[in-house]
Chain A
Amino acid sequence: MNTATAFLEACNELYITLKENAIPTAWRGARAGSSCESAVCACLVCVCVLSACTHCFPFTRALCSFGLVFRTNHLKKPPAPMAGSDLRTVRFINTQLLGRRRPTVELVSEDEHDLQEDPAIAMNSLSTETTADREEVLFDCAELYEALADVEPTLFKHAHRSYLDYALGHPLPPQMKALDASQPWLLYWTACALRLMDPQWLTQDVQRKMVHKLALCALDSGPYCGGFGQQAHLVCNYAAINALALCDNIDGCWASIKREGIYEWLLTLKMPGGGFRTGALLGECDSRSTYCALSVASMLGVLTPELCEGVEAFLLRCQTYEGGFGACPHEDEAHGGYTFCAAAGLAILGSLRKCDTAKLLDWCSARQTNEEKGLSGRSNKLVDGCYSYWVGAVAAILEAYGLGESIDKSQLREYILKCCQSKERPGLRDKPGKSPDYYHTAYVLMGLSATEYSFSVRDCPQRIQSARLVEQPDVEPVNPIFGLPIDVLARFVDYNAAR
């Protein structure tokens, strides 16, 4: 048994031990920011389970020489509420606990500061779960903004690259099986993120391996599945096609996409109400699945009138009184992810102007808050880095079509660079206190791209153009409708148009 195999065995064993004994109590306490002051041994690249209290798992440190990067963090006591805030009560909520009710620990700050400068009106008349959750985030963000006040924010590109390269260069730890039915997504997120930071970082070797892997995920008839031996799934097709577009037609791989088979299959997913559902037998039918169908068909050049029939009406019916869009056309709550799907879907259909664009612009703009500077996905919900793309892209689409300005891009960029990354751990995250993951790394970077360029559209949605807003952008420009670098998309679309 060579060392690499031995290491994998050790990982498996560790994982199983953790799973069977659940997470040790001391470690839970540490994560909750309460009592445990022991060191935490955290893997820098593959997070989650391998993080453990060294009291309980002293041997985790021994593993790092095999390629995983470990780091020991000394946990701080809960930070004292900072000055310059009028928050008198800060609550630490232990979201890690699995219980039905979330216990809260209250800390009362020593000094009450009434702030002359604070521009926003506090939601302080009534304290509820919503305000308690938000106060916690405000506190974390304010702390970072204060600490980084004089720092010119930069993207920690090389750290993030190591995080992404890890996924593309190693077998993944067992707990990643949660993504077993979403394997094309993992390829799309990592490849897109690398390529946005530097087109050279997605190597030909990795592109070849991506093509191979995606071939394993495909049915003989053409459509893609979540992984080997699984059934076809609409949103996995979106991820697979986008991932293949990122492969630059290496070894002529684009010719192997069976677009007739995919097209025929898409037709079988069409529902009477005009939307598409994710699978032929079962699966949700909403603005997300419908967008995925439109994006795939548009990129492959098979967006036929037959396929599009009734789709516009379906998407338009998802717009709510708030201005954003929900999942289903029965007054579902306006939501960043679904709003992106519906707005981008309408743009693909050439029907964006048929929705209430003034209300949509208003809704997008209201997602940005003065204190956090980042975007939330719904009214009275918390800021989250991934909405930098979902909502930021809608703002970019509206901008491209000349339908108004809604986001303060430079402030959003500041949220991304100061609150969504840290020197301690590579990868990008939802918000301070959360662990990075591949999903957030991709969408936070795509959101960053939307803040560094302005967008305009000349003739069709696939040909959105960009102009720099910052002198030295950190990332390449992304097409905010398709979620791919602008040049990558253009080449793929040209290829399929000529096919």
Chain B
Amino acid sequence: MSDAPEFQYDDIEPLPISGGQEGELCQIMYDGEYRTVMGIARALLQKLEFSERALHATSQAIDLVPAFYTMWNYRFQIVKALYGTDGAELNRELDWLDEFTLNNPKNYQIWSYRQALLRLHPSPEFQRELPILQSMIDDDTKNYHVWSYRRWCVLFFGDFTNELQFASSLIARDVYNNSAWCHRMFVLKNQVPKGPPAEALTGELHYTKKQIELAPQNISSWNYLRGLYDEFLDGKADPAIMEFALSFTPGIFAADASDTGPQIQSSYALEFLARAYAKNEDTFAQARKAYQALSDHFDPIRKNFWAYKIRSLTA
């Protein structure tokens, strides 16, 4: 901010920023700087001044308290009034926002403000959004708002080209990154309105199985596998996928499985099997056995839930 032009606010009488009542509950002990910055910004807002100095006043206010939504609203009004739909000016505003975003990664307000700017922009570009998205995700690979904003962009620009590749790169970095797995489902459900073509789905199943083999005890990849079947294959597990899941739970369904149960590689594989078996009355016995093993050995904290699943088998 050091190179920002000097703005004069001498003609502005800062407004009070608190009710000023004696004994007011939860009064924050504002420091002098905060009182001045917020007081000036409030005064400018009250007279609805849309000017460069007002814009600067909102930057200062937002810098001090990023969650101060009133100043974001005001800033948006100023930007609209000053720049209208001037692409170059709006790009400058996006530059400012990029910088601010990097310094305030957890902030809520940034993203809806950004959406509003892009809606205002005469020629918004997805390319311009990618670097900030990349850097934010690099820094915090599960940042909820950034992923959500990315999906909004993909739909806004109607451009799915980079998305599977992007999700794959993050899954390669951390196979347990559930946000990246969800992003794949987003692509599959939205890229083609009727759902993914058969070969794409086959490829996706293959990819998922490979990731499961890499790290079998991973709720994200197993949930995704189940999701693929539920969303695109009527929830019907085929013999091949049952075989795949069984390979992580050797011996569990053997008639003489001992009380302590054999070692398995993945409790999620067992869950996957239990769910599939529970869909058909003929395999209720296996489902019961799987739920019981989860309850007794592999995931005992969820015993109430497993008991509930066992009870619903007869219903």
What is the 8 Å Cβ interface bit string for chain B, positions 273-315, against chain A (1 contact, 0 not)?
0000000000000000000000001111111110110001000
Given A128, A278, A369, which contacts B69 in the complex, CB threshold below 8 Å? A278
Q: Which residues of B contact A121 (CB under 8 A)?
A: 217, 264-267, 298
Q: Answer whether A128 and B176 are a contact pair too, CB < 8 Å, given A167-B26, A181-B69, A226-B70.
A: yes
A171 touches B176 (CB 8 A): no
Indicate the member of A125, A174, A282, A362 with the most B CB atoms within 10 Å.
A282
User: Does A439 make an interface contact (CB < 8 A)?
Assistant: no
Q: Check A332–B176 contact: CB distance below 8 A.
A: no
Nearest CB in chain B: distance from A158 CB, A: 21
Partner of B299, one of A120, A187, A373: A120
CA distance A314 to B152 in the complex (A): 16
Contact status of A210 and B304, CB under 8 A, knowing A231-B69, A282-B112: no
What mask results when residues 17 to 33 of chain B are scored 1 for a CB within 8 Å of chain A, else 0? Answer: 11101011111111100
Question: Contact: B301 with A373, CB < 8 Å?
Answer: yes
Residue B76, interface by CB 8 Å: yes
Q: Once the chains are docked, how many angstroms separate the CA of A373 from the CA of B34?
A: 43
Q: State which of A292-300, A320-328, A443-451 sits at the interface with chain B.
A: A320-328
Q: How large is the interface on A (under 10, 10 to 19, 20 to 34, 35 or more residues)?
A: 35 or more
Residues of B within 8 A of A370 (CB): 299-301
- Chain A residues within an 8 Å CB radius of B34: 174, 177
Q: Does B233 sit at the interface, judged by CB under 8 A?
A: no
Taking A12-B31, A180-B28, A327-B148 as contacts, is the C-beta distance between A333 and B304 under 8 angstroms? Answer: no
Q: Is B1 an interface residue (CB 8 A)?
A: no
| A274 close to chain B: CB less than 8 A | no
Question: Would you list which residues of chain A between 120 and 136 have a CB under 8 Å from chain B?
Answer: 120-123, 125-126, 128-131
Q: Measured between C-beta atoms, what is the minimum distance from A242 to chain B in Å?
A: 15
Find the B residue at minimum CB distance from A181.
Answer: B68
Q: Distance (Å) between the CB of B12 and the closest chain A CB?
A: 15
Complex: how many Å from CA A355 to CA B144?
23
Smallest distance from the beta carbon of B46 to chain A beta carbons, Å? Answer: 9
Chain A residues with CB under 8 Å of B28's CB are 171-174, 176-177, 179-180
Could you list 8 A-B pairs, sorted by A, with CB under 8 Å?
A: A12-B29, A171-B27, A179-B28, A181-B68, A227-B17, A278-B69, A282-B73, A283-B73
B-to-A contact residues, CB < 8 Å: 15-19, 21, 23-31, 34, 38, 42, 64-65, 67-70, 72-73, 76-77, 108-109, 111-113, 116, 138-139, 141-142, 144, 147-148, 151-152, 155, 173-179, 182, 185-186, 189-190, 214-220, 223-224, 226-227, 230-231, 264-267, 297-305, 307-308, 312
Given contacts A282-B116, A406-B302, 4 further A-B contacts (CB under 8 A): A180-B67, A180-B68, A226-B68, A332-B151
